[in-house]
A and B are shown apart, each in its own frame.
Chain A
Amino acid sequence: MLFFGVVIWMIVWSIIGSIMIKRRYLARDLDTSNANFMGAMAGAALGPVGIAALWSRTPTKSGYLTVGLGLLTVLIVAVTFSFADPENICVTSGGFVASQFVNGLIIGIIYGFMALGLSLIFSILGVVSFAHGEFYMIGGMSVYYITAVWFPGVSPLIGVMGACAIAFVLGAVFERLMLTPMYHGKIDRPVEYGILVTFGLAFTLQYFVQATAGANPVKVQRYLSFPRWQFPEDGDPVWIKTSRGSLTLFDQVSISSPRLTAALTCIFVLLALLYLLHRTWTGKALRAVSQDREGAAIAGINPDRMNMLAFALGGMIAALAGALLVQAFSWLPQVGAIPAMRSFVIVVLGGLGSLPGAFLGGIMVGMVEAAGTGCVPDAQKAASYIPAYGMIVLTLTLLLRPTGMFGRRFASSTHGQH
């Protein structure tokens, strides 16, 4: 009861705050892009006091203040929760919180990586690819077919690379065939065209795979089995213990081998990607196109080629995420729907088109889902609501700060902001 009372109090004041502060900034002809969010956070964290303070000292808006207020809000919610439900396992067991935290972090890294592909596509083409989940699915399926059906016994590394190659080619061909007309103003509303045509691709791919591969769940054996090992030999608690499928830290936190290898690969590939984007000519050209299409064209970069590269690369990233997770999850043609939704949440949270935002957003969404499944008191329902947790983050972000954490306004109208 206490908890809901506080939450309602916070919601009411955050709504009041977001409206009032927005009005205030509007009336003073100031930049309102962030006022909503800051007002909401001030209202939620400090109630009327916060709003009044913000109101009286109007142009104090800053990133630090907003982040500080946001963190304060989260803290208040957490503290109230622990007072309201002192029996809850999230309050009583530190080990449980740690394991949920690590789990959220690891899966967050993988999903953040996948969302990065979506963000890359958006930053260059201005299209939200609705086929992202299907690239993920194709990635996993390809590894299965390469390592278990076509060439049994082949190294999983070859399977993963093969999956990336297949997705890259698929992305490039699709872009050439279907997306080219939207670049030169031949279509009235390119954003909607992009959404619809990738939607069509998703539909076709999913049913094509179901028609050819069937709908039995398949899975690839884990790429890496740990030896039995522990350190220190007879410590209490044992710091690190490994067995075939998992690694346990301090007897509390266990991480499965598939997830660990997937997360580490993701970080490694992310670093490679950053190198590509910032240190090579192609990468610089990509970034140039995302910043200023016409300018890049004048500088001798062919934007159309960059479009193709971005779409293929984005699809490949999703496929890589799938290729890494096919060792952790059972794989079906419709397996892409959930990660696709999650990617949407992440890119919106991080800011559409922002690469660091996508990665950070991924980790945050991983955390929110872990907290949601771990801490909701009613065990019956906690897991049933898993699909909703991320979506709540999505809608809240869009309402309070549509540009997300690291969002920027795109100059070109192709990016959905006319």
Chain B
Amino acid sequence: MKKQIPNLAGGMFLILLLVFPLVYSKGDYDYIMHIMITGFFYAILAASWSMLSGYAGQFSFGHMGFMAIGAYTTGLFCHYFYISPEPTGLCTEMGFFGQYLIVVNPIGVTSTTLTQDCLRQAMDVWGDTVKVTPMPVFLGILLGTIMGGFAGFLVGMLVLRLRAAYLALFTLGFSEILKATISAEINITRGQAGLELPPLYPDGITLLGHYYGPTAKLPPYYTMLGLLLICLLILTWLARSKFGLFVRALREDQDAAAALGVNTVRYKVLVFTVTCAMAAAAGAVQGHYVQIITPNMLFLLQMSLVVAMAVIGGIENFVAAAIGAIILQVVLELLRNSFVIGGVEVDMTIWRLVIFGLLLMITLRFFRNGLIAPIIAFFGREGVAEETVAKRSAGSQEAGS
């Protein structure tokens, strides 16, 4: 019975998350929902990162890079491509089945509203007579996910020979180059000014007879939560299958695994592709939710947040990492308020991050499996295969000695 406790608790937590938007009704509803959605976003990143780095041992610092690939793919796609029944005569366009695919020219960052791209100019001439259709957001997110997975595949192929510190540095370099490129190519990406994206549901959505506008929080909440659950399911399925076993073998001793006939190349590339696609999907959905993306989401600080969340949750257990991310995101937001001790004002906007850093180090030093994973492990131990139990207990004895 004991081993069911984490499942029960997990189920309760999930039900709580599912009904939360329906029962919560305080004035700060939108703000709390915003924190939760961002929490789910970080949870997807932390879970996929812990699969890649903790479970498979491919220590990557480029996870935010893949996230950005997802976000910028859909952002650029929705920003530059439109479908129109009439040719504009100004843009690059391509006819098919009586419709025209319009590629809008980049106008860069301008300060006035007078400079307009070719499509806006054409629309001014048309007035209301022609209805231009933007690209479906869903297609953009799908493209973003595929691009992220593809980039993960490529990086996975490139880093086959690299391990540990070398891999960390390579992925860091990848992420930095991406950031510099996005910042510098202002004409296309709009750089630091930020690329604006259409909302997740541009026309709003009707759920159970209730209409939610494009800026309502409930639809993106369930979208992001759904994405998180899908990712966790895929990760669980992978971890329980042969894949999980091989991937762990990769982590423990790559050469031995290869000698035993594990196709290390295939699994290494696969784990990169899958986890990076997840990061990209999260980035794409988050991009449409906040409606603006900047290269600053590649800031090393953002990556360190994900790493810290995964570590504090439990680096080798992606469910724990996800839960850790949600909890930490909420706590970090709520800690923003400053307070006064003995006449000295403590500016919590910064001190909370100091505390966070200390917590990260203490967790690493004394609670190597994170703070949440051991709780799950404690109750769920009976369900774990015998050899793992033996190994874990041996490990903990040694650590305790």
Chain A residues within 8 Å of B, Cβ to Cβ: 122, 127-128, 177-178, 181, 186-189, 191-193, 195-197, 199-205, 207-208, 210-211, 337, 341, 344-345, 348, 352, 381, 384-388, 391-392, 394-395, 398-399, 402, 416-418
Contacts and interface: CB of A to CB of B under 8 A. Distances in A.
A388 B176 contact: yes
A204 B365 contact: no
A196 B311 contact: yes
Contact of B361 (A191, A195, A197, A387): A197
Contacts of B347: 211
B210 interface: no
B358 A204 contact: yes
Nearest to A414: B164
A384 B180 contact: yes
Interface stretch (B99-107, B113-121, B166-174, B381-389): B166-174
Contacts of A384: 180, 183-184
A402 B180 contact: no
Interface string B243-271: 00000000101110000000000000000
Ranked nearest first, the 7 interchain pairs of A and B with the lowest CB-CB distance are A204-B357, A416-B164, A384-B184, A388-B180, A203-B357, A200-B361, A200-B360
B324 to A, nearest CB: 14
B364 A204 contact: no
B169 A348 contact: yes
B18 interface: no
B53 to A, nearest CB: 7
A417 B180 contact: no
22 contacts: A189-B57, A192-B57, A193-B364, A196-B364, A197-B365, A200-B308, A200-B364, A203-B357, A208-B357, A211-B350, A344-B169, A345-B173, A352-B165, A385-B180, A387-B179, A388-B177, A392-B173, A394-B169, A399-B158, A402-B162, A416-B164, A416-B166
Contact of B350 (A181, A210, A381): A210
B307 interface: yes
Contacts of A337: 300
A392 B177 contact: yes
Main secondary structure on A side of the interface with B: helix
B170 A394 contact: yes
Given A197-B364, A204-B354, A391 B163 contact: no
Contact of A394 (B159, B173, B304): B173
A178 B365 contact: yes
Interface string B320-363: 00000000000000000000000000010011011011101100
A391 B361 contact: no
Given A191-B165, A344-B169, A211 B180 contact: no
Contacts of A189: 57, 164, 251
A341 B361 CA distance: 22
A394 B167 CA distance: 11
Contacts of B254: 418
Given A122-B165, A208-B354, A395-B173, 16 more contacts: A199-B307, A203-B353, A205-B357, A207-B351, A207-B354, A384-B183, A388-B181, A391-B173, A391-B174, A391-B176, A392-B177, A398-B170, A399-B158, A402-B162, A416-B164, A416-B166
Interface of B: 53, 57, 59, 158-159, 161-166, 168-170, 172-174, 176-177, 179-181, 183-185, 251, 253-255, 300-301, 304, 307-308, 311, 347, 350-351, 353-354, 356-358, 360-361, 364-365, 368, 395, 398-399
B279 to A, nearest CB: 19
Contacts of B169: 128, 344, 348, 394, 398
Contacts of B251: 189
Nearest to A394: B173
> Counting chain A CB atoms within 10 Å of each CB, which of B162, B353, B358, B361 scores highest?
B361
A124 to B, nearest CB: 14
A189 B253 CA distance: 11
B218 to A, nearest CB: 34
> Counting chain B CB atoms within 10 Å of each CB, which of A394, A398, A416 scores highest?
A398
Nearest to A180: B365
Contacts of A181: 365
A121 B283 CA distance: 36
Nearest to A184: B398
A192 B158 contact: no
Nearest to B351: A211
A217 B301 CA distance: 20
Contacts of B158: 399
A299 to B, nearest CB: 27
B350 A395 contact: no
Contacts of A418: 163-164, 253-255
A189 B251 CA distance: 9
Contacts of B398: 186
A205 B158 CA distance: 34
A199 B351 CA distance: 17
Contacts of B253: 418
A323 B164 CA distance: 31
A395 B174 contact: yes
B297 to A, nearest CB: 16
Nearest to B168: A195
A352 B166 contact: yes
Contact of A395 (B57, B170, B307, B357): B170
Nearest to A341: B176
A387 B164 contact: no
B350 A201 contact: no
Contact of A192 (B164, B166, B360, B361): B164
A391 B177 contact: yes
B180 A348 contact: no
Nearest to A186: B399
A296 B50 CA distance: 37
Nearest to B366: A181
Contacts of B300: 337
Given A394-B169, A402-B162, A416-B164, A201 B361 contact: yes
A398 B170 CA distance: 7
Contacts of B184: 381, 384-385, 388
Contacts of B168: 128, 195
Contacts of B162: 398, 402
Nearest to A348: B169
A257 B72 CA distance: 44
A185 to B, nearest CB: 8
Contacts of B351: 207, 211
Contacts of A122: 165
> Counting chain A CB atoms within 10 Å of each CB, which of B164, B350, B351, B399 scores highest?
B164
Contacts of A402: 161-162, 166
A387 B176 CA distance: 7
Contacts of A352: 165-166
